[in-house]
A and B are shown apart, each in its own frame.
Chain A
């Protein structure tokens, strides 16, 4: 006969188990000391931060009200949020970039769900990007807006999705060339990939700004944003190619030999056998790459395109609201953080889901 173990009763088990938490904080003498030090650091850090963020902050009013208070100026954010999101796009036409933003975001949400991964999704992307471009330029609705006036979050997301999307097919070709038995093509692919990966993105953007107008006949008439998109696509394709190559390396050689034995040619083998498996392997890696690329689009500010970050910076030079750097960068930072943190969590979720055997 045994007594009922009280702790194993379902009712009791529901209470929170404090032991790991206690051990994690005060388990050893070293742990206790570390907890004390960390708490001291937090006590030093958190109250001034909270005062600045909330207690001493100015929520409504003008720049003068903000200057009088010592905290953050949220009145600045309410006044300039629209500028940070859409920059110099004409005020009365800002429904167009807003609609483009909404379209891109909803398509991103749809793309994130594996059950929608079909051929139609690719067509949807082409359509949406074309539509966004048309919305921004105003070819469908009239009253055209030149790309010099585009700005803010829609530009960041549009450049990001167009460049990343275009770089994938290019990267697949590069990765296949780098692994092919043809020495000439292999050399070209290696040269291109190493050249791009060894160069900072800023230099690539300067090439887009300074060299392309000279190198392409009539290049000085090509739009600055288009030139940047062209060079960024080439630049990113080298990085994507290395990830794709990693995926190709995981496919056992027997797969290719079996396909050859069945009488499939090179392209059919790649298209039907190797690439579907390899690309599936690299999806989480691609998501991580995409996050890095979204952060890298902020470099557009260096060549004077008003992406999200540059718009945030420009918002601090408004004579009416001069010099609220911290608030502007905080808003831009929060937007980038939401996208990238969400993306990295999604990547982790996707990895476990794709590894699950029933898929």
Chain B
């Protein structure tokens, strides 16, 4: 006798029925809403195109290939009046990325320091940190930026610049810091540096996989990495030298200079988000229950180990998503640069819209870039959260 096994529910539904299932109840009302929304946008778009034609502007992205007759105050890539609009927008985007990345790094450093200071157990320090956080959190970022730019513009002229240790100069022409000059940098140097970094990274990863990573190992590896990188320069004939800013004539020469606008924006973003990050760090560490501390102490771990092995891994699960959304907020808020004259993406887009009349396309580019940035970071965040959740609690 032959028996055929029939497994219930083995038959998978077809594509169409899955689509219908996804679309859900009341299909026609939904379709009507959908059509209405599309029609609304169609109508608005047609109106925009009409108005543009009436004022003599051709809709479309052709303007990107025309030359832009404005200067950009500062830019990482070389840009001068007469270059194409697309390069102007790229210069603005790079300026935005520059201030956002530096802002994220500095805000994290300051924020973590403040968060730890707030939890240090010292009453005076904790009170001071709490007032700092309240003060910064409860006033608008734009107001703080106005304050910073007024401050940056009120520094004395270069000849009387305020200086600290003859390395840092504050003047109304900008902030000057010591820079590093690399001479004779060649492909061989780069290759050697990459090789050193890779081998160190691989070694650390191998140690990490065997769960033998200790603080001492990490420190030693970092030192070896730095020493090897330092040795790589003379071996391949490149030189590193420190470039100190110096007062010469009526201006300060040398070193690494920040324009007043950039310095003000960076200071404003760093301070504003350091307060947010300090709060996140505090909340994250406090979210680990006291029992965990007590249990770790009962096991004989000393405070440093408790923090590193027990508290931080759990706190990071709370901290990471919040800090990421802080980073995204910082990137979005860097758009306030337009109010203090730093040529970021929004500022360039605004100038482009005003000089070409193609405000619709220009704003579409702006929103598209920010959206792509946000969605990609959120996607990465979701991957991270899933990993942490899996490793953290497989039972649920």
Contacts and interface: CB of A to CB of B under 8 A. Distances in A.
Contacts of A184: 23-24, 27, 30-31, 33-34
B120 A194 contact: no
Residue picked from A184, A216, A298, most chain B C-beta under 10 Å? A184
A215 B346 contact: no
Contacts of B363: 203, 206-207, 210-211
Nearest to B50: A214
Among B27, B135, B367, max chain A CB count under 10 A is at B367
B216 interface: no
Nearest to B49: A214
B242 interface: no
A309 B140 contact: yes
Interface in B37-70: 37, 44-45, 47-48, 51-52
Nearest to A295: B140
Contacts of A198: 367, 370-371, 373-375
B128 A333 contact: no
A302 B336 contact: yes
Nearest to B32: A184
A180 B24 contact: yes
Interface string B362-380: 0100110011011100000
B37 A329 contact: no
A197 B378 CA distance: 11
A194 B31 CA distance: 21
Given A24-B123, A182-B24, A215 B146 contact: no
* Residue of B24, B45, B124 with most chain A CB atoms under a 10 A cut-off: B124
Contact of B47 (A206, A214, A301): A214
Nearest to B46: A215
B146 A326 contact: no
Contacts of B123: 21, 24-25
Interface in A185-230: 185-186, 188, 194-195, 197-203, 206-207, 210-211, 213-217, 219
B246 interface: no
Nearest to A198: B374
Given A211-B360, A325-B150, A181 B47 contact: no
A34 B336 contact: no
A184 B124 CA distance: 56
B25 interface: yes
B361 to A, nearest CB: 11
Given A202-B338, A329-B146, A337-B139, A217 B370 contact: no
Interface in B337-357: 338-339, 346, 349-350, 353
A216 B45 CA distance: 9
A329 B349 CA distance: 28
B55 to A, nearest CB: 9
B2 to A, nearest CB: 43
B90 interface: no
A24 B350 CA distance: 53
A214 B353 CA distance: 13
Contacts of B375: 194, 198
A203 B23 contact: no
Interface string B1-38: 00000000000000000000011111100110110010
Contact of B140 (A31, A35, A336): A336
Contacts of A329: 143, 146-147, 150
Contacts of A24: 121-124
Nearest to B325: A197
A287 interface: no
B139 A295 contact: yes
A198 B25 CA distance: 30
Nearest to B129: A38
The B interface is mostly helix, strand or loop, or mixed, namely helix
A210 B361 CA distance: 11
A185 B30 contact: yes
B33 A35 contact: no
Interface in B104-147: 120-125, 128, 134-135, 137-143, 146-147
B335 interface: yes
Contacts, number: 167
Nearest to A209: B359
A182 B26 contact: yes
Contact of B138 (A181, A199, A344): A344
Contacts of B335: 200, 202-203
Contacts of B360: 210-211, 214
A188 to B, nearest CB: 6
B286 to A, nearest CB: 15
A42 B127 CA distance: 12
Nearest to B44: A215
Contacts of A333: 139, 143
A215 B23 CA distance: 31
Contacts of B140: 295-296, 298, 309, 336
Contacts of B336: 202, 299, 302
A214 B25 contact: no
A325 B135 contact: no
Contacts of B332: 199-201
Contact of A326 (B37, B150, B338, B370): B150
A197 B332 CA distance: 10
A295 to B, nearest CB: 4
Contact of A195 (B52, B371, B373): B371
B120 to A, nearest CB: 6
Interface string A15-48: 0000001001101001100110011011000000
Interface string B176-187: 000000000000
A199 B139 contact: no
Contacts of B52: 214
A337 B121 CA distance: 27
Contacts of B359: 206, 210-211, 214
B370 A199 contact: yes
Nearest to A329: B147
A38 to B, nearest CB: 5
Interface in A25-76: 25, 27, 30-31, 34-35, 38-39, 41-42
A197 B138 contact: no
25 contacts: A25-B123, A34-B120, A38-B122, A38-B125, A39-B124, A184-B30, A188-B37, A194-B371, A194-B375, A198-B375, A199-B332, A202-B338, A203-B367, A206-B359, A206-B363, A216-B47, A295-B138, A295-B140, A299-B142, A302-B339, A309-B140, A336-B140, A336-B143, A340-B138, A344-B138
Given A183-B30, A200-B333, A211-B363, 6 more contacts: A31-B122, A38-B124, A181-B24, A182-B23, A215-B48, A301-B142
The 10 closest A-B pairs by CB, nearest first: A24-B123, A198-B374, A340-B138, A184-B30, A298-B140, A210-B359, A325-B150, A214-B51, A200-B332, A200-B335
